[in-house]
Structure 1
């Protein structure tokens, strides 16, 4: 037994940096919530489940509790528009995880927070492994940026963002280890949690050109194609559950078109302009005096978009510099690069005028390349991310963001 003790100590020490990052992320978010004072002077109870609950959270909880449903709104609400209602516009991966955890006796709300926070801890742990699990200035600053990542406020909410992002990171781990099963499993969970998870399918298809290098070309394409196919089955599982509950294979598409006017591809730059100009400040304007932080956070989605654009461009530039200098990227870096670009553009192609900022939080996977950036870039990036995190967090806790 004696020879195993150093291994156990190393294993525990390896979890220390991600554990510290997770604690700091919660501490910063708690401080933001503490300073987000409502119009009546009451403060947000960050440690309550109510503070983590926003709009779509109710739909995820209803799926966890009772499964899917779809109905004409007029059948239940006399004064409602003649559109479809229900919860079939939301994917099952996260709520099914909540249902499993709730079997321990926790309430569904508490189980949702547990799933979210454990997913966030898992994100830091997997990222740390991908960074080499060695504390340096580069890896330390990368973890620090992760604690205040753009849109990261949703990594603490009752949403599938943290779980889906963890799955994407696991998918990258699978590629780096040359494990077809891990890559496919990560992709499946990502697509079953959130529509943005579909980026895993595209990345896995492209993995034939940068991963599986020990295999012959036919085997590479077979692994890439089959892992992408299994990842895509996450969507089929979602649609099967919806069909079981509603008898409609197109339940998701029906409610998206009827209630939200979504469906088909959009012109991304038009969507971007609409997202930038969305009047969130008109949604929360109580008569009572607003504190400075909340007052100045009501247009934080605009600076958020600029920061997200800058982050994507920095990731692209970092990859380009490495390709020029080293003539190569490693497997994890290729995967992170492809996913980051896909995640940025997908909401604007699909139409996400009021949710792109939380979808973009999944660009967290791009931190795999942030460690390659100069310290002169990492430090300003950390500062800008921290400032923006405070303002978007105040916007979130003020109840403006969906």
Structure 2
């Protein structure tokens, strides 16, 4: 028997995304191991306790008991006079956690399952968008994805992986010419995270670069319908909040009262505040720190520089394609629009302490990374690996929120 001939077309099914998902978890485990002092650090990454931070508790509370809003002093007499509750967080992720918990798993474990399944889905959809052919360009792109800036939150009890997967599904729908798939991805994205609502803008703009088989009026119909359905994710979130609190403005009220958000901010001023935020003074752990943690307490600053560099590289890659070929593929236009929007939204919204996890959703920009020179890809992989280790150390040490 000669056996089955080896495939020479560069296709390997789902093996590359599976390997990418495994490497992402292995690398994150190594970072966690070097970030937690004391006995048992080897297994800290595999515990649910290491996967949650402040906002995780709010997402879990929504999954368990739904929404609530109240004056803080009604329950905590010594607290400042602001609103408390969990209506500042969207329902898409916690409702997914609630659904998985119906299998008998704890809410905490269900949250980790939703996150890790979403991360694998991210690699699988990205792989399809890259053409599902293993080359140097696509292999290095997947490798960068395993250590993407801010990607430590792809493993945490946060909706970051879920909303990023939804954005990639939205792009896939636009690429396939399926407004239904695009709308579904947009709905999930906007129902999981406020930044995910950028999908609505993408779908509106898709009339100008997508749906090539349709007439111009039909392109606008598909773009408008898909955008409207995607926007219903936000309406669903506000409806659930209204059902629980009796107020349609519950989200806006708690954002303004407790977090001084809700209005547009001057983005460059917010960028300056984000860069200079004193994490190392506010949240530095007590006692002797592991070397990696000791040298990562200001890693949010290098994170911002790397995010800016990534944005500029994506813009340069798109410009190069336009100059050489005078066109971008549909998925490349979508990735370009989303990457630019995701970068700026947290600074317009005033996300002084959370922009780094918002920016993790720029993962969609990897669609254009495949167009970069190999030396640029290799350099980006090296810098991302170093930065991932530093930001991951901040996360596992409890410095990040």
- What's the RMSD between the two structures over aligned residues? 1.5
Shift of 1:314: 0.2
Q: 2: CA distance between counterparts of 1:287 and 1:77?
A: 27
| Alpha-carbon distance in 2 for matches of 1:285, 1:279 | 10
Change (3 A) 1:286 1:225: closer
Shift of 1:258: 0.5
The alpha-carbon deviation at position 292 of structure 1 amounts to 1.8
* 1:213 CA drift (Å): 1.0
Residue pairs, 1:231-250, within 5 angstroms: 231-250=230-249
- Partners of 1:171 and 1:182 within 8 A in 2: yes
The alpha carbon displacement at 1:13 in A equals 4.1
Which residue is 2:400 aligned to? 401
| Distance (whole Å) between structure 1 residues aligned to residue 189 and residue 180 of structure 2 | 14
State the partner residue of 2:196. 197
Query: Hey, what does 1:266 align to over in structure 2?
Result: 265
5 Å matches for 1:94-105? 94-105=93-104
Q: Could you tell me whether the CA contact under 8 Å between 2:169 and 2:182 is conserved in 1?
A: yes
Tell me, in whole angstroms, the C-alpha distance in 1 between the residues paired with 2:96 and 2:29.
25
Q: 1:242–1:251: 8 Å Cα contact kept in structure 2?
A: yes
Which residue of structure 1 lines up, in the alignment, with residue 210 of structure 2? Answer: 211
Q: What is the CA deviation profile of residues 281-323 of structure 1, one whole-angstrom value per residue up to 9, with x for unaligned ones?
A: 0123344222221111100000000000000000000000100
Asked if the contact 2:283/2:400 (under 8 Å) is kept, the reply is: no
**Could you say what secondary structure the match of 1:45 adopts?**
helix
Asked if 1:15 is matched to 2:14, the reply is: yes
Partners in 2 of 1:147 and 1:119 — Cα distance? 14
Indicate conservation of the 8 Å contact 1:284/1:398, yes or no: no
| 8 Å Cα contact 2:56/2:158 also seen in 1 | yes
The alignment partner of 1:14 has SS state of: coil
**Equivalent runs, 1:31-180 vs 2, <5 Å:** 31-38=30-37, 43=41, 45-180=44-179
Alignment of 1:317-328 (within 5 A): 317-328=316-327
Q: Which runs of 5+ in 2 are unaligned?
A: none
Give ranges in structure 1 of 5+ residues lacking alignment.
none
Q: Give yes or no for contact 1:164–1:193 (8 Å, CA) kept in 2.
A: yes
- Using the alignment, how far apart are the partners of 1:388 and 1:218 within structure 2? 46
| Separation (CA, whole Å) in 2 of partners of 1:297 and 1:382 | 19
Q: Give the length in aligned residue pairs.
A: 393
> Is the 2:189–2:197 Cα contact (8 Å) retained in structure 1?
yes
2:365 corresponds to 1:366: yes
The secondary structure found in structure 1 opposite 2:45 is: coil
Match of 1:227 in 2: 226
Task: State the match for 2:256 in structure 1.
Answer: 257
Confirm or deny: 8 A CA contact 2:285 2:398 kept in the other structure: no
Alpha carbons of structure 1 residues 102 and 327: separation in structure 2 relative to 1, 3 Å: same
Given that residues 166 and 186 in structure 2 are in contact (C-alpha distance below 8 angstroms), is that contact kept between their aligned partners in structure 1? yes
Aligned-partner SS, 1:132: coil
Report if aligned partners of 1:149, 1:361 keep a CA contact under 8 Å in 2: yes
Distance 2:340 2:386 in 1: 23
Question: Residues of 2 paired with 1:98 and 1:84: CA distance?
Answer: 26
Matched, 1:348 2:339: no
Runs of 4+ in 1 over 6 A off after TM superposition: none
For the residue of structure 2 that corresponds to 1:389, the secondary structure is helix
Q: Secondary structure at the match of 1:220?
A: helix
Distance 1:306 1:202 in 2: 26
Q: Is the 8 A contact 2:12 2:134 kept in 1?
A: no
8 A Cα contact 2:48 2:109, kept in partner: yes
In 2, the alpha carbon distance for the partners of 1:337 and 1:246 equals 38
- Structure 2 SS opposite 1:56: helix
Partner residue in 2 for 1:387: 386
Whole-Å separation in 1 of the counterparts to 2:390 and 2:344? 23
CA deviation after TM superposition for structure 1 residue 225, in Å? 1.0
TM-score, normalised by the number of residues in structure 1: 0.96
Q: Give the Cα–Cα distance (whole angstroms) in 1 for the partners of residues 115 and 365 of structure 2.
A: 20
Q: Distance in 2 between matches of 1:396 and 1:196?
A: 21
